[in-house]
Amino acid sequence: MRKGFRNFILVLALCCFGGLFCACEEVAPQPTSVTILDMPTTVNYTVGQSLQLSGGSLKVEYDDGTTKNFPMTLASANITTFNNANTQQQVVLTFLNLTTRFTVRVDKADVSPKISSSTIIDNKPVVTTSYTGQQISFNALDKNSIPQEMLEGVEYYYKNTSVANAEYSKTELPVNAGGYLVKIVINSSSNYNGCELESYFDVQKCNLFDLVLEGEELNYDDAELNKNGIKYGQEVVLSNYWRYKDNSLGVAPLPQGVRSELQYLYKLKDAQDYVSVLPDSVTGDFVVNLPVGQYDVKIALQEDSNIASYEYNFSLIVVKTQLQRGVDYNLYLSDGTNTTLLDANTAIPTVSYDAEKTYTLTLVSNIGEGIVLQAGTTYYIGNSTSGSTILTASGLGKIKAVFNILGDDNHLDVSNETVIFEFV
């Protein structure tokens, strides 16, 4: 009996201690759902803005029936989807491995375009154009001030401020110097609102800054024109090309309407007054043949509506040129009655010899009376290496005449010119 009682007491004690042990291992409640308790303060956005969760809170329910509230701004709250493009969308939020959603709206954003100009005068952008008769390309918009997706939707409209009651035009772009208003229309895109921007700008008169001779810059130290001089009779063409100031085109033909307004003047170095030369009626070029000498040349352009006044001065040297047989002079053998041309080709002229006649060498100049045969022409008979200055009756045979020509103010002398003819 006693033994049975002891066993009962032992069993009872074990049960009590076991109950206490089980009570110490209580299991924590598990979250079963998460819902939006309070929406974030900001639910309406514009494109490009970041999601803001401040002001929002979450309600979490547990498996034991209890609930707890948490702010959305907890680091453990994770946004798995948010697109800041133009759309109404649901934001997915994950917390304690549970997800919930709330709706936000993202609208198109406004843009703040800016005017771009390399020169600003009195808060107005200024365009200095090198006038070529072409339309002026003026992109006044700072392309970095608007999103890339809007650039293709930009349109420019212009209005001349000097024309009364002028209206904006997209087709009549500026081609002349003057004051203009430009209206920049930036059309809306999928994510941004369109807008308009208006600005004043000046197109200034262009400045020529130097003369270029046939594509090569005219430089006093280097140009052959001034280094060695040009030869008499060579045409001087000094208005083929001009270089424009502040112009990426560099060297370009001057517009025909401007070329016709150029003045060309020259004078001898020590002379007081300039001589005016009319430009070529077709090309507008300065084309002139100048006598030998050193000249001051001036090319002047009067100011017009698009180009500022301009004056270009330089020195020009004209040197003597070589006399050309057949062009500047011809040689004849005269017997007092008939003459035989002693031309410059390889044929040897033949002359019927008459002992009764006196033969003389005659020069005929095609440039006037300025050049003459120098006295003392020497005649060689046959293969002789010694000759005389008087052609006498010495029988038949080949005659070689060696002579000199005295040039004029514009032509060089000719030394040891030779002709051959034959008496038969």
pLDDT score of 222: 36
**DSSP single-letter state for residue 151:** G
What angle is formed at CA 383 by the lines to CA 380 and CA 389, rounded to 5 degrees? 10
CA–CA distance, 73 with 56 (Å, rounded to integer): 8
Residue 379 one-letter amino acid: Y
pLDDT score of 241: 47
Q: Is the pLDDT of residue 96 over 90?
A: yes
pLDDT score of 214: 42
pLDDT band of residue 290 (cuts 50, 70, 90) is confident
Dump pLDDT digits (tens) for 162-202. 888 989 988 777 777 788 888 889 999 989 999 998 877 77
pLDDT band of residue 240 (cuts 50, 70, 90) is very low
Q: Which two tokens stand for residue 309?
A: 């006044």
Count of other CB atoms within 10 angstroms of residue 411 = 24
Q: Which two tokens stand for residue 350?
A: 């033949």
Mean pLDDT for all residues in the chain = 76
Contact 67, 88 (CB under 8 A): no
- Strand order, beta sheet including 98-107: 44-46, 98-107, 87-95, 78-81
pLDDT score of 109: 92
pLDDT score of 41: 95
Dump pLDDT digits (tens) for 348-373. 888 888 878 877 888 888 887 778 87
pLDDT score of 262: 72
pLDDT band of residue 216 (cuts 50, 70, 90) is very low
CATH number assigned to the domain with residue range 209-319, chosen from the 4 options 1.10.20, 1.10.10, 2.40.30, 2.60.40 = 2.60.40
pLDDT score of 130: 45
Using a pLDDT cut of 70, give the percent of the chain over it. 68
H-only helix segments in 248-359: 256-259
Same fold? 31-107, 209-319: yes
Element (H, E) at 372: strand 372-373
Buried b / exposed e over 64-82, threshold 16 CB at 10 Å, is eeeeeebebeeeebeeeee
pLDDT score of 347: 78
Q: Which two tokens stand for residue 343?
A: 């031309």
**Class of 120-204 per CATH?**
mainly beta
Contact 138, 127 (CB under 8 A): yes
CA–CA distance, 210 with 6 (Å, rounded to integer): 129
Closest by Cα among 387, 368, 369 to 378: 387
Q: Which two tokens stand for residue 72?
A: 């959305």
For 228-286, strand residue ranges (E) read 230-231, 236-237, 241-244, 251-252, 262-268, 275-277
pLDDT score of 194: 93
pLDDT band of residue 26 (cuts 50, 70, 90) is confident
- Which of 122-131, 315-324, 360-369 bottoms out in mean pLDDT, i.e. has the lowest? 122-131
Q: Which two tokens stand for residue 39?
A: 């929406």
Closest by Cα among 171, 154, 172 to 163: 172
CATH number assigned to the domain with residue range 31-107, chosen from the 4 options 3.90.550.10, 3.30.360.10, 2.40.50.100, 2.60.40.3630 = 2.60.40.3630
- Strand order, beta sheet including 251-252: 216-217, 208-213, 241-244, 251-252
Buried b / exposed e over 211-249, threshold 16 CB at 10 Å, is bbbeeeebeeeeeebbeebbebbeebebbbbbbbeebee
- Residue 237: CB partners within 8 Å, gap ≥ 6? 213, 214, 285, 286, 287
pLDDT score of 250: 52
Q: Report the Cα 238 to chain-centroid distance in Å.
A: 23
Q: Which two tokens stand for residue 117?
A: 């100009």
CA–CA distance, 325 with 58 (Å, rounded to integer): 112
What's the whole-number mean pLDDT along residues 66-82? 88
Region of 376 (left: φ > 0; alpha: ψ -120 to 50; beta: rest) is left
Closest by Cα among 255, 274, 242 to 133: 255
pLDDT score of 34: 95
Dump pLDDT digits (tens) for 292-304. 888 888 878 777 7
Q: Which two tokens stand for residue 28?
A: 């924590």
pLDDT score of 224: 46
CA–CA distance, 320 with 131 (Å, rounded to integer): 40
Domain boundaries, the chain: 31-107, 120-204, 209-319, 329-423
Higher pLDDT, 378 or 87: 87
Element (H, E) at 60: strand 57-62
Q: Is the pLDDT of residue 62 over 90?
A: yes
Count of other CB atoms within 10 angstroms of residue 381 = 18
Q: Which two tokens stand for residue 225?
A: 């024109």
Dump pLDDT digits (tens) for 254-274. 655 566 667 778 899 889 999
Closest by Cα among 219, 217, 218, 299 to 250: 217
pLDDT score of 378: 66
Q: Is the pLDDT of residue 93 over 80?
A: yes
Dump pLDDT digits (tens) for 320-343. 889 888 888 888 888 878 888 887
CA–CA distance, 405 with 322 (Å, rounded to integer): 11
Q: Which two tokens stand for residue 409?
A: 């103010």
